[in-house]
Amino acid sequence: MRKLDFKNKWIVVTGASSGLGKALAIKLASKEGANLIITARRKERLDSLKSRIENEFSREVIVVESDLSNPDSVENLFRVSTSEKEIFGIINNAGMTDFNPADIKDYEKYEKIIEVNLKSLMRLSLMFLDYFKEKGEGAILNITSMGAFFPLVYQGAYTASKHGAQVFTEILSKENSEKNITISSFAPGGIATEMLSNSGLDKLRGSDDFFNWSAEKVAEKAITAFKKKKLLSVPGLVYKLGLILKRILPRKTLLYFLEKSYRKK
Ligand SMILES: NC(=O)c1ccc[n+]([C@@H]2O[C@H](COP(=O)([O-])OP(=O)(O)OC[C@H]3O[C@@H](n4cnc5c(N)ncnc54)[C@H](OP(=O)(O)O)[C@@H]3O)[C@@H](O)[C@H]2O)c1
């Protein structure tokens, strides 16, 4: 099977203002020779990433400011991207979490999490799928999480969104397997990014240890798997083994251990 080749192709990367999205953008430009449409809410960060990529790697970058919790903004991202350039691929990476016991007072936050992590990913996947069908080629990578497989206690809304994103991506891939369009998912474990420090998850196990890899290392794995057109890739032996253990353990036992391991100190 021929690998994906991103050289001189245009790739949309959501959530590129920090963490994994920023690392993906840098790797795609520096190692793969891709041109990029980068998006997030914090425009000044995107502008500085654009300058860096253009100066250091001589690739073209277009910045589109978007709030993916707003469906109009999601549609606008699709419209602007496809009217500016011929797009070859999209990486749906933007995401947010909340690390607390579920409580009705935080319901608006949960709605945002579902909008960004699940609904925008579904909408962008479907809009770009249609566009790629017309072109006869294209590639979609959806970043999910270990939370797509494990019930991460104290992150109920996040875990629900990632379970949904994972299964949606797999089904979409199967339904379109005859076409020349790659639909992949990548489910990392911990990454030392703002998501951990902003939510307080970093206080559980620190920011750069065995469980929390650097964004650069995870980005490298994600791009390698995407190029190989993997339906699902889980980086790291510890997480691969975790998935096997999950199949064996009774659900109650799994919840017991996850509650203990995610309980705030
Ligand atoms: N960190 C981990 O341990 C971990 C583990 C597994 C999976 N993941 C997944 O990896 C992906 C990237 O997360 P990260 O760890 O790199 O976190 P991060 O550093 O917090 O980055 C999240 C990105 O999403 C963007 N974003 C958040 N809300 C948005 C909104 N409403 N509209 C548009 N963009 C929005 C942020 O940009 P703005 O704030 O500028 O809008 C930022 O660029 C997420 O899908 C996450 O679920 C992370």
Give the separation between CA 143 and CA 190, rounded to whole angstroms.
Answer: 13
pLDDT in tens, 227-241: 999 999 999 999 999
Looking at the structure of the chain, the number of domains it has is 1
User: Which residues constitute the domain of residue 241?
Assistant: 10-262
239 in any annotated domain: yes
Which domain CATH number covers 98?
3.40.50.720
Give the separation between CA 143 and CA 145, rounded to whole angstroms.
Answer: 7
Give the separation between CA 160 and CA 199, rounded to whole angstroms.
Answer: 17
4 in any annotated domain: no
Asked whether the beta carbons of 162 and 144 are under 8 A apart, the reply is: yes
21 in any annotated domain: yes
The residues that bridge with 186 in the sheet, in sequence order, are: 143, 233
Query: How far apart are the CA of 195 and the centre of ligand 1, in A?
Result: 6
pTM score over 0.85: yes
Q: Is the CB of 236 under 6 A from ligand 1?
A: no
pLDDT in tens, 177-209: 988 999 999 999 999 999 999 999 988 876 566
236 in any annotated domain: yes
pLDDT in tens, 52-97: 999 999 999 999 999 999 999 999 999 999 999 999 999 999 999 9
DSSP 8-state assignment for residue 64: E
90 in any annotated domain: yes
Give the separation between CA 257 and CA 142, rounded to whole angstroms.
Answer: 28
200 in any annotated domain: yes
Q: What pLDDT band is residue 265 in, cutting at 50, 70 and 90?
A: confident
101 in any annotated domain: yes
Query: How far apart are the CA of 1 and the centre of ligand 1, in A?
Result: 32
1 in any annotated domain: no
